[in-house]
Chain A
């Protein structure tokens, strides 16, 4: 990544000889790579929108407020970003398979309530955590089955389960928060490894595992094939239905893990709507350069996207900008990223 703006003249000066040889020999030979990338500078920017945006934001906020880049603030940004990062990984899996999970945030809320109920009934920490994950995983599994076997559009299924999960959360909790006090959870959210808080460590481990699953296993390749071309995947004998079910279940499990992290952070189990988490998870995936039509992208991009959105909120708060402006800023950033993504190769 260079600080040269994409309208810089040098590539133009370099290209003429390359262009002529290119045209006369073979028009689509791979030797044209370097020439292509210099021409497609805007494509390069689009591909790396998240990381470039993140660096720009960090520079701007550091210039405006020296507190921003202190160790304490960076630590708190990483911890604050961790829940969104976990949800974003799940969302990325779903979007890579050419779907969308609108229910992630409500699924997480249902997980939170399942935890709260188990905990208030005297179940131990481990059982409560398990019930959060199981409840969320169930919603994910049902989403997947409805999409794959019921052949209903992803958008509609998860729009429905968004409502169902948040409704269930309200019914089960009777709309009241349950306070959750556990030394283990307090330690989890206040301590860490070296300079990294435990929530961030968990998010980072999940991201690494997700990367390995996507790029180093057959499942990952089949996921990309399903998202890229369902017909081609099926023609080679890949069960796209199984991939879809797996992907939504993964998203559900991750929502359950996010639920535990949310309880550790808030210290209570409340049936809140958490809509911002939904919007930000989709936004982070888009920022991360994952194609909304599936089959193209990675995990690193969305993770950086989640970090970028958290940095944006954190920086605005540090600068005493009213909270009301935060959704506005997030919206503008996402739309800019989507515009830029049109130039992806």
Chain B
């Protein structure tokens, strides 16, 4: 299987972005295949997060194009990206502790009913739908009526991923999804990520954890100093080769 066999879900071509004198991205080109887990690895400051922010609509590329699902993107904000089906699981999780699980799942996407402009929350529908969303996870299910404050780190991550996976998203971006988790919780979240792929979502994974990247991903892109320096099918490479590519001791 090669990356060119099907139309890529995301096609990044020659993207450049500078912040003042700092060239954060220089002619970055890479593709994400649909239904796969694609990992981007690289040292701190290699430009991984900046690239992801371009894809999710937080930054805009100064030159080059980003195609999503065959269309050129002109996202002006993360909401634009979300409307097209790009969801991001943030490093800091972006959950509100004092709201319940279902309120967090539907945050800024609340279901309402009412007449004309006078609309009230449809709490029953949201709770039922949240129950359904959480039950499909089959991992570590917290009761949807409980406050997020009472959940463990893994449960919170499960809720975040559940929020990103729901609402018919096509691409789920995860920035260091297990950075703050223990061993067991990391394993559970990894199961969730694999399940996302099995459910047909494309996943873009940023991780510092090489063994995790090797375990989960189908395709790995290596970034160094603002450039995308190499791409490998995970099955065709080794952790050692990836490390060598990241540090620059080996080219291409």
Which of A's residues lie within 8 Å of B, judged by CB?
Answer: 28, 30, 212, 215-218, 220-222, 224-225, 228-229, 231-233, 235-238, 291, 295-296
Contacts and interface: CB of A to CB of B under 8 A. Distances in A.
B90 A235 contact: yes
A225 B96 contact: yes
A296 B110 contact: no
Contacts of A225: 96, 99, 107-108
Given A28-B150, A30-B146, A218 B97 contact: no
B35 interface: no
Q: Which interface residue of A28, A215, A233, A237 has the most chain B CB atoms within 10 A?
A: A237
Interface residues of B, number: 28
B95 A232 contact: yes
Contacts of B109: 236
A222 B143 contact: no
A216 B120 contact: yes
A30 B155 CA distance: 13
A295 B103 CA distance: 13
B107 A236 contact: yes
Nearest to A218: B110
Nearest to B95: A232
Contacts of B238: none
Contacts of A235: 78, 88, 90, 92, 94
A229 B95 contact: yes
A224 B150 contact: no
Contacts of B78: 235, 237
Contacts of A228: 96-99
Contacts of B77: 237
A231 to B, nearest CB: 6
Interface string B103-145: 1000111101000000111010000000000000000000100
B79 interface: yes
Contact of B121 (A30, A218, A236): A218
A124 B138 CA distance: 66
A33 to B, nearest CB: 10
Q: Which interface residue of A30, A221, A295 has the most chain B CB atoms within 10 A?
A: A221
A238 B98 contact: no
Given A221-B110, A222-B108, 17 more contacts: A28-B150, A216-B121, A217-B112, A217-B119, A217-B120, A218-B119, A224-B98, A225-B107, A229-B95, A229-B97, A233-B107, A235-B88, A235-B92, A235-B94, A237-B79, A238-B108, A296-B98
A80 B146 CA distance: 39
B94 A236 contact: yes
Nearest to B81: A237
B170 interface: no
Contacts of A296: 98
Contact of A224 (B88, B96, B143, B146): B96
B98 A232 contact: no
A217 B88 CA distance: 25
Contacts of B112: 217-218
Nearest to B83: A237
Nearest to A215: B121
Nearest to A291: B98
A140 to B, nearest CB: 22
A237 B108 contact: yes
